[in-house]
Amino acid sequence: MAAEIRAFPCLSDNFGYLIHDPETGATASVDAPEAAPIIRQLDAEGWQLTDILITHHHHDHVGGVAELKQTYGCRVVAPHDRTTGIAAVDQRVAHGDIVKVGNLLARVLETPGHTLDHISYVFDSEKALFAADTLFSIGCGRVFEGTYPMMWDSLLKLRALPDDFRLYCGHEYTASNVKFALTVEPDNEALKARAEEVTRLRAAGQPTIPSLLGHEKKANVFLRADDPAVAIKLHMKGASPEQVFAELRERKNKS
Ligand SMILES: [Zn+2]
């Protein structure tokens, strides 16, 4: 039986995610922005929370952990970086570790840059990538704690995943990301198609997530900082991918 994934809004623009293994009944929440909507979703499905898989220490990703842990006695899995104060952690994971959710297997990728502790979870059999605040649809996270080369390297790890994987990211930022991306690449056909789709989805009150990684590779300029055409668009012909990425990210910060 295939895994079931649910996406739902939390806080102002975060996503809550549940992934459920029908064979064992195990259910993981990827991050826990706040407890109430996660509990509501679990109740609606008749699922018991067994695990929380944390991506990074920011409050809008861990704010619900303590209450969920108390309510369900679930296991809390978190990045190995102990410098941050994530409460109630049972298991620390690092690059290449495998986390079991019932019979589902999640592979841990270290994707630092937004924060130094940031990890992403890849469910290979389910073709699902939970990238939190490293990779957004048509954008990427702000670089708060790491460096631009570090963040670019993290994006390359995610870009290396197959085209038919689905991206589940931490925030509903797609419309604002599309608006910025069009200022850099007004003629990118894949981006224009995504822009139309996002307008339609948002008008209907629908989330823009998940998106296909293959589409992101074409439409998301932050994944193409090593494309000479992008450097030329920024008047940076011959610049390194790290320099191009930094310029893109700084322009987005100011947009
Ligand atoms: Zn964050």
For residue 58, how far is its CA from the centre of ligand 1 (angstroms)? 5
- Is residue 18 within 8 Å of residue 27, measured between CB atoms? yes
- 90 tagged catalytic: no
pLDDT exceeds cutoff 80 at 83: no
Rounded Cα gap, residues 45 and 37, in angstroms? 12
Is the pLDDT confidence value at 128 over 80? yes
Give 5-34 pLDDT, tens digit per residue. 999 999 999 999 999 999 999 999 999 999
Task: Please confirm, yes or no, whether 226 is among the known catalytic residues.
Answer: no
Q: Which domains does the chain have, with CATH numbers?
A: 4-254 (3.60.15.10)
Residues ≥6 apart with Cβ < 8 Å to 240 = none
Q: Is 163 a catalytic residue?
A: no
Question: Is the alpha carbon torsion for 32, 21, 39, 139 positive or negative?
Answer: positive
pLDDT per position as a tens digit, 41-75: 999 999 999 999 999 999 999 999 999 999 999 99
> What pLDDT is recorded for position 69?
97
User: Predicted confidence band at 114 (pLDDT cuts at 50, 70, 90)?
Assistant: very high
* Residue of 60, 81, 117, 153 marked catalytic: 60
Cis preceding-peptide flag for 79 (omega within 30 of 0): no
Residues with CB under 5 A from ligand 1 (ion): 58, 133
Arithmetic mean of pLDDT, 61-90: 91
